[in-house]
A and B are shown apart, each in its own frame.
Chain A
Amino acid sequence: MTFLIQQTLLFAIPLMIVALAGVFSERSGIINLALEGIMIMGAFIGVLSVRLLQSVPAFQEAAQQLAQFNAGKTESASGWLTLQGMEILCMLIAAAAGAIFSLLLSYASINLKADQTIGGTALNLLAPAISLFLIRIIVNQNTMGMEGGAGGASWFLIRKTFFGYSAGESAGFLGNTFLDKTYLATYLTIILFVVMSILLYKTRFGLRIRSCGENPQAAASLGISVYKMRYAGVTISGALAGMGGFVYALTTQGCTTNGDVAGFGFLALAVMIFGNWKPLNIALGALLFGLFKCIAASYSTLDINGDGRFLLTEIGVSSYVYRLLPYVITLIVLALTSKSSRAPKAEGIPYDKGMR
């Protein structure tokens, strides 16, 4: 059960934050098909910054100290806090990279009134191309990890031993599930999700963004700058998606990147539609789709209630079914709700001041 919850969270959290990224952009009136591309960019820049920061002496010492602690050579685990700080720094860098990359989309679709779908597709093509081109130049192979082959887990994974539990000791169900072998990034992302949802739905700024996605001409008549609000929406979207990309690379890929996030950006798009553009539904949708991903990834070794039997294998449903289900469900949800969809009214339509 612990394993199931942890794995589901690992997959669900990046989905959740990237789906919210999609909401920010679409609420401001710009269709963001580029989520996948921005995630790839965030993952690449994030992992690259980890690589570069690795050579900073302070972080290196912290990592050595932590390695000694994990090997049982020292009592103090003080190094882990420094490394968590490094993780946060890299998350911010990835977010900045995503925000800058998304400017390409906002410039094309806001200033030049270009086709947003094609613009998004261009970014989706550009991100893997640039990151793979550079990855190959930097490490001469298609996957870039941390310097010296260090695993992301050995640097950034939080263990119960940091909090005074001994290796064999149980930290209780909650401790085992939410404290041991977790990433700080997961919890930060959840907090960020809540904060950004409140920002979008409970503040004046959020209302302004949303008004630009529903009726930009009316918003403009009230003195709101549609251009600025749409730029804000897409840039926030880019930052969240970039960070989500790095969180994905860190937590599920062991801090490696290969110019690909295995369709997570598109899956996040599906989560967004499944959640009908509402944060709470998106969170639930992300958990559901995360569960499917988790089942598909580790389905033959998943022991849900701890009785030594692999229930899912005994049911005999192929793992491909679990991989398929999110997309099929999204299509069905789309078909059922097409009449009552809460999609922003003005999404995909370039803002034209003179239009009524």
Chain B
Amino acid sequence: MNKSPLMQRDGTKKLIASLLSILIGLFFGSILVLIVGLTTSNIGAKGAWDGIRLIFIGLFSKSRDASGNLVFGMNTTNIGNMLFRATPLIMTGLSVAVSQKTGLFNIGAPGQYLMGTMASLMISLSIPSSSVPPFVIWLLAFLGGCLAGAIWGAIPGILKAFLNINEVIACIMTNWISANLVTWFFDIAKFSTMTGSFYCQTKWKIADGSFKNMVENTKSGYVYKTSWNNVATPKLGLDKLFPDSQVNAGILIAIVIAIVIYIIINKTTFGFQLKACGSNRHAARYAGIKDRANIIYSMSIAGALSAAGASLYYLSGNTEFSWNTYQSLPAIGFNGIPVALLAVNNPIGVIFSGTFMAMLNIIGTQLTKFTAYNEYITDVIIAVIVYLSAFSLVIRSLIAGRKKNTSVANDANADKTPAKPEDTGKSGADAEQEAAPPTDAGTEKGGAQA
């Protein structure tokens, strides 16, 4: 396996398949932009050309010059913001990837993300920073968020493990339950009920002790920023590197978590057990692995990771949460699915695919800013990529299978050439049949190693 040339390695094929689906997605987006541009009177060919350029290199767009042409170049603000937005995407991507390793499709990431948001915000806002150091509050809020997500993720896990309920359906239900729960709690919860009356004595007195931002009129419908309570993720000098951007240490934490997950999945017994349950639950049980426990662990970890993404995003101190979520689910949760798919569930790959998705996000805002198009074109691109990755697995195994099949069959034929001439036709067919099972085993092995 290790001696095979670079182009035929499993990882290379996966990378090529992912890059190919990205390219097709971008081209599809460009075609849509072109068609819309040419058929809409106020955009025209020049506007469409601007749109297409932004889709591909929008990260490096800076402004429009005096004559109305787009100016491209190094844009550290964009890159910083990209890293900031990549943080939650990497985490939800990891969440989906970890559950996929155990053969579970975690479409519940949005719900786990919301639960993490709620727990983190409530903890970080209700512990007064005048009496507890902000760093401790940050840590408590982060861990509390992870715990909330883990509990929420465990519910579909338990239903799957003990009652064999399809985790996709259970996750969809828990998603909408959490969307309503979160709105409900933010609607009625008060600081005073959670921490007692002493809270009103802290330096930022809030009207009625509610989490809802009543102070700034323009922010109705939002929860207070955590920076109101002096809680914010440290910048660690990244803001000097990328001036005027929202970047903070969250991205570093996300990368570290991704590496830790990689080690757990690939280098520990626990990770092996998770993967064994994913490959064949019954075989795993026969081998003495507690399959039920592993399914629940996997979903809990997935939930904790999604929630950690939410914590990192909202504890940054400069993001606001719109609490009226009961009619929609956060897109970041769903976008964990394409992130994981693009990375073929590899935790290290998730870092890059998450960053790529964040780049698309930035491109969307640039499109809205500089052209008559809007940010939803990047959602179209993402959807196309997800659609392609639905069958990229199939296509990849087809390519891999055919290549190996022919090579093995040729070898077999070569071995049998000294045999009697009248037998060759038959033996060739036999050899091909014989070659089939090893091919399957090979692809399965490749899949398990992934």
Q: A118 contacts B390, CB within 8 Å?
A: yes
Inter-chain contacts of A331 with B (CB < 8 A): 159, 170, 173-174, 177
Q: A137 contacts B169, CB within 8 Å?
A: no
When each residue 109-143 of chain A gets 1 if its CB lies under 8 Å from chain B and 0 otherwise, what string results?
00011110111011111101110111011000000
Given contacts A327-B173, A331-B170, contact A114 B184 (CB under 8 A): no
Is A108 on the interface with B (CB-CB < 8 A)?
yes
A178 to chain B, nearest CB (A): 29
Stretch at the interface among B198-206, B216-224, B380-388: B380-388
A304 to chain B, nearest CB (A): 23
Q: B36 contacts A137, CB within 8 Å?
A: yes
Is A104 on the interface with B (CB-CB < 8 A)?
yes
Inter-chain contacts of B387 with A (CB < 8 A): 104, 108, 119, 122-123, 126
Inter-chain contacts of A134 with B (CB < 8 A): 36
Is A324 on the interface with B (CB-CB < 8 A)?
yes
Q: A129 contacts B383, CB within 8 Å?
A: yes
Q: A122 contacts B390, CB within 8 Å?
A: yes
Inter-chain contacts of A108 with B (CB < 8 A): 387, 390-391
Inter-chain contacts of A259 with B (CB < 8 A): 376
Given contacts A320-B183, A334-B165, A335-B165, contact A117 B384 (CB under 8 A): no
From 354 to 395 in chain B, residues with beta carbon under 8 angstroms from any chain A beta carbon are 372-374, 376-377, 379-380, 382-384, 386-387, 389-391, 393-395
Is B180 on the interface with A (CB-CB < 8 A)?
yes
CA distance A221 to B386 in the complex (A): 35
CA distance A196 to B374 in the complex (A): 40
CA distance A2 to B304 in the complex (A): 47
Tally of A-B residue pairs with Cβ under 8 A?
Answer: 143
Is B176 on the interface with A (CB-CB < 8 A)?
yes
CA distance A136 to B387 in the complex (A): 23
Given contacts A327-B176, A335-B163, contact A117 B382 (CB under 8 A): no
Q: A130 contacts B380, CB within 8 Å?
A: yes
Is B188 on the interface with A (CB-CB < 8 A)?
yes
A106 to chain B, nearest CB (A): 12
CA distance A121 to B337 in the complex (A): 9
Is B168 on the interface with A (CB-CB < 8 A)?
yes
When each residue 142-179 of chain B gets 1 if its CB lies under 8 Å from chain A and 0 otherwise, what string results?
00000000000000000100011100111011111101
When each residue 97-123 of chain B gets 1 if its CB lies under 8 Å from chain A and 0 otherwise, what string results?
000000001010000000000000000
Given contacts A328-B177, A338-B165, contact A323 B107 (CB under 8 A): no
Q: B394 contacts A114, CB within 8 Å?
A: yes
Q: A318 contacts B188, CB within 8 Å?
A: yes
Given contacts A273-B169, A338-B163, contact A125 B183 (CB under 8 A): no
A326 to chain B, nearest CB (A): 8
A38 to chain B, nearest CB (A): 13
B302 to chain A, nearest CB (A): 15
From 314 to 354 in chain A, residues with beta carbon under 8 angstroms from any chain B beta carbon are 318, 320, 323-324, 327-328, 330-331, 334-335, 338
Is A266 on the interface with B (CB-CB < 8 A)?
yes
Q: B383 contacts A122, CB within 8 Å?
A: yes
Inter-chain contacts of A83 with B (CB < 8 A): none
CA distance A193 to B384 in the complex (A): 33
Is A33 on the interface with B (CB-CB < 8 A)?
yes
Interface size class of A (residues with CB under 8 A): 35 or more
Is A270 on the interface with B (CB-CB < 8 A)?
yes
Given contacts A121-B334, A137-B372, contact A266 B390 (CB under 8 A): no
Q: B373 contacts A119, CB within 8 Å?
A: no
Given contacts A318-B188, A331-B159, contact A114 B372 (CB under 8 A): no
- Which of B188, B337, B394 is in CB contact (< 8 Å) with A112? B394
CA distance A57 to B394 in the complex (A): 52
Q: A334 contacts B376, CB within 8 Å?
A: no
- Which of A318, A335, A338 is in CB contact (< 8 Å) with B184? A318
Is A87 on the interface with B (CB-CB < 8 A)?
no
Q: A335 contacts B159, CB within 8 Å?
A: yes
CA distance A330 to B164 in the complex (A): 15
CA distance A126 to B386 in the complex (A): 9
CA distance A130 to B177 in the complex (A): 27
Give residues in B with beta carbon < 8 Å to A. 32, 36, 40, 105, 107, 159, 163-165, 168-170, 172-177, 179-181, 183-184, 187-188, 326-329, 334, 337-338, 341, 372-374, 376-377, 379-380, 382-384, 386-387, 389-391, 393-395
Which 7 A-B residue pairings sit nearest by Cβ, starting from the closest? A129-B379, A114-B391, A126-B383, A122-B387, A320-B184, A125-B383, A133-B376
Given contacts A119-B387, A324-B180, 13 further A-B contacts (CB under 8 A): A112-B395, A114-B390, A119-B391, A125-B382, A129-B377, A129-B380, A130-B376, A270-B172, A320-B183, A320-B187, A328-B177, A331-B177, A334-B163
27 contacts between A and B (CB under 8 A): A112-B390, A114-B394, A117-B107, A117-B168, A118-B337, A119-B391, A121-B107, A121-B337, A122-B386, A122-B390, A123-B383, A125-B338, A125-B379, A130-B383, A132-B379, A133-B373, A137-B373, A260-B327, A262-B328, A266-B172, A270-B173, A320-B326, A323-B180, A323-B326, A324-B184, A327-B176, A328-B177
